[in-house]
Amino acid sequence: VVFAGDGEPQIPQSMVTRITGLLQSDKLQPDTYSIGGSVEMLESRIAQELGMEAAIWMPTGTLANQIALRHHCGTKSRIVLQEQSHIYHDEGDALVKLSGLNAIPLAPGRPYFSVDELRKALEEATSGRVLNPVGAVSIESPVRRQAGQVVPWNEMRSITNLCHDEGIPVHLDAARLYMMSAATGIDVKKYASLFDSVYISLYKYFGAPFGAILAGPDKFIENMFHDRRMFGGGLPSSYLSAALALEGMNGFPARFNKSFNKAKALFEIINKLPGIEIRQFQNGSNIFELLITKNISTDQLIENLLNVNIVIPEPKNDWPVPLIHVNTTILRKSNSEIADSFSDAIKKSIEPAP
């Protein structure tokens, strides 16, 4: 059981086995530089599931976000987004370097900004000596840098309503959209209905080695493959990734819902053990905080659990305590077996009193 990451760990042997199975069942349909074949089948399927008119395959989420916001803005140069977003922190200032777009970060150190904060930013953009209106608004949810916390539905709806009233396109950076849907109980199509474009990842939990999908209206997606090629993203043999994603999507909502419900029941059992608590965020997704008392060694607990094939990630600099990630590997063992392993590991990790 791997309480880290969003999906099943992908190793070379399993990837080759899956591709071999797809070949034998005639489900590998070649593309021409990311056009047609299994790629087109995937684009059509996700567009339909999101209730969008069209979709286009991208090699990475970074490129999907870049091209989406580039198209939305046109000649306008300002984009409002979360200060904690992937676009702002983890894409190398690509907006300004590649497309001349200036990011206006809101809600520093927090998962999301409020509609009032956005309204103020929109007013500031049009009240200076030089008119410089906002060209697009981007919302990331769940927010990776904030332990997978999601933007609450009511706040998301208020923000997108304001954007639509002001005629400003709004983009959803939702690499983990299907996972967020399972955590909140809100359908992916309902989420997508609020936005002018949506990006989702194909490798985080659908089992593809790489890839992303950008969905939106026909006119928005039409001829976007030219920009994809301009940025070096029109890859040959993309059908291999697309076909693996198509396979990984089959039954995923049911599997993840089962995993999420199993995790809730498991954490109730574990939280009855002495010295440990698995705590859910108020607006959380599949990530939970692991809290332990001072007399229990975190390093020893992690090692003891690893010895019985339960993986807990070590604490990182960007979060003070270990974070438990729920994914479908939780289905590999019974809750009683996992809880017993935690109980034994805790007992072996208690440090002697000074």
Strands 54-58 and 197-201: unpaired
CB atoms within 10 A of CB 223: 9
Whether residue 95 sits in one domain with residue 189: yes
Whether residue 144 sits in one domain with residue 195: yes
Whether residue 91 sits in one domain with residue 32: yes
Whether residue 231 sits in one domain with residue 280: no
Residue 5 lies in a domain: no
In this prediction, residues 323-337 reach a mean pLDDT of 96
CATH code of residue 203: 3.40.640.10
Strand order in the sheet with 54-58: 54-58, 212-216, 197-201, 170-173, 134-140, 78-82, 102-106
Cis peptide before 322 (omega within 30 of 0): no
Whether residue 118 sits in one domain with residue 142: yes
Residue 149 lies in a domain: yes
**Residue 71: its pLDDT value, please?**
97
Residue 295 lies in a domain: yes
Cα 267 to Cα 290: distance, rounded to the nearest angstrom: 10
Give the model confidence (pLDDT) of 53-101 as tens digits: 999 999 999 999 999 999 999 999 999 999 999 999 999 999 999 999 9
CB atoms within 10 A of CB 39: 29
Whether residue 53 sits in one domain with residue 178: yes
Q: State the residue range of the domain holding 100.
A: 27-249
**Residue 323: its pLDDT value, please?**
95
Whether residue 289 sits in one domain with residue 234: no
Give the model confidence (pLDDT) of 125-137 as tens digits: 999 899 899 999 9
| pLDDT at residue 9 greater than cutoff 90 | no
Whether residue 287 sits in one domain with residue 240: no
Number of domains in the chain: 2
| pLDDT at residue 167 greater than cutoff 80 | yes
Task: Round the average pLDDT of the chain to a whole number and report it.
Answer: 96
In this prediction, residues 28-45 reach a mean pLDDT of 98
Whether residue 32 sits in one domain with residue 166: yes
Whether residue 259 sits in one domain with residue 238: no
The answer to whether the Cα torsion of 105, 106, 109, 114 is positive or negative is: negative
Residue reference for tokens 């580039």: 70
Whether residue 259 sits in one domain with residue 237: no
Closest residue by Cα to residue 142 from 175, 106, 115: 175
Cα angle 245, 281, 290 (rounded to 5 degrees) comes to: 90
Whether residue 234 sits in one domain with residue 265: no
In this prediction, residues 271-276 reach a mean pLDDT of 96
Cα-to-chain-centroid distance, residue 238: 21
Predicted TM-score (pTM) of this structure: 0.95
Report the interhelical angle of 252-270 vs 177-184 (nearest 10°).
Answer: 50
Give the model confidence (pLDDT) of 172-221 as tens digits: 999 999 999 999 999 999 999 999 999 999 999 999 999 999 999 999 99
What 8-state DSSP symbol labels residue 316? B
**Residue 10: its pLDDT value, please?**
86
CATH code of residue 281: 3.90.1150.10
Closest residue by Cα to residue 69 from 115, 37, 109, 101: 101
